[in-house]
Amino acid sequence: MVTAGDFRNGVTFEMDGNVMQIIEFQHVKPGKGAAFVRTKLRNVMTGSVVEKTFSPTDKFENAYVERKEMQYLYNDGDLYYFMDMESFEQLPLGKDKLDDNFVFVKENMMCKVISYKGNVFAVEPPMFVELEITDTEPGFKGDTATGTTKPAVLETGTTIKVPLFINIGDVIRIDTRTGEYIERA
């Protein structure tokens, strides 16, 4: 059990059948009246954010969200298959469980499959991935100082903006959280 007086950033707890994670909290002691805890909460299943005020004595059940490292194998239509590297069991997941940044994941990459009480609700790709450029306009010598970008197609089929000096066949590092080019690998 966790009380509202013990809230800290990152704490997850169960409230009204939902799993909530604290983004921000503030203990307030007004001059008159009882103290209270003002929070900003994220529903980890849906991603929605709400602001809520609690009495410091309110009690909630702890929620343990499991993050398991699994290997992405392949997709078959709308099903994406992941393998547990310990038991070698395959787990099929629907496209609705994947974030927009999953477009940077290629076969055999390790991802974190996030679940609560056995129900998978999200898949986290690695923060940084290295992918090969399969199609882009040719680069020119001296195109490094301008800061100008051009579109490039990655081996996963996704198009991102890269500097002008990047060519077909180059392997680049990408931040999957922002979808931006970082550097040549």
- CATH number for the domain that contains residue 46: 2.30.30.30
pLDDT in tens, 19-46: 888 889 999 888 888 889 999 998 887 7
Q: What is the mean pLDDT of the chain?
A: 87
- pLDDT attached to residue 21: 87
Q: Are both 136 and 118 inside the same structural domain?
A: no
By the 8 A CB rule, do 116 and 19 touch?
yes
Residue among 14, 64, 2, 61 nearest 41 (CA): 14
| CA R_g for the chain | 22
Residue with the bigger pLDDT between 1 and 45: it is 1
Of 62, 89, 113, which residue constitutes the final position of a domain?
62
Supply the range of the domain harboring residue 149: 128-184
* Domains held by the chain: number: 3
Q: Looking at the predicted structure, is the pLDDT value of residue 146 above 80?
A: no
Residue with the bigger pLDDT between 139 and 182: it is 182
pLDDT band at 70 (very low <50, low <70, confident <90, very high): very high
Instruction: Please say whether the dihedral angle defined by the alpha carbons of residues 26, 31, 36 and 39, taken in this order, is positive or negative.
Output: negative
CA-to-CA dists, residue 1 to 57, 67, 133, angstroms: 11, 21, 50
Q: Are both 58 and 72 inside the same structural domain?
A: no
Q: Are both 19 and 55 inside the same structural domain?
A: yes
Residue with the bigger pLDDT between 133 and 98: it is 133
Q: Looking at the predicted structure, is the pLDDT value of residue 142 above 80?
A: no
Q: pTM of this prediction? A: 0.72
Q: Are both 75 and 45 inside the same structural domain?
A: no
Q: Are both 44 and 70 inside the same structural domain?
A: no
Q: Is 67 exposed, middle or buried (0-12, 13-18, 19+ CB in 10 A)?
A: exposed
- CATH number for the domain that contains residue 147: 2.40.50.140
Of 124, 151, 174, which residue constitutes the final position of a domain?
124
- Mean pLDDT computed over 111-138: 87
Q: Are both 119 and 137 inside the same structural domain?
A: no
For residue 142, which amino acid is it?
G
Of 9-13, 90-94, 140-144, where does mean pLDDT reach its minimum? Answer: 140-144
pLDDT band at 132 (very low <50, low <70, confident <90, very high): very high
Grouping H, G, I as helix, E, B as strand and the rest as coil, residue 5 is: helix
- Order the strands of the 12-15 sheet from edge to edge: 2-3, 59-62, 12-15, 18-28, 36-43, 49-54
Contacts of residue 4, Cβ cutoff 8 Å, sequence gap at least 6: 37, 39, 54, 55, 56, 57, 58, 59, 60
- DSSP character for 157? S
- pLDDT attached to residue 38: 92
- pLDDT attached to residue 72: 93
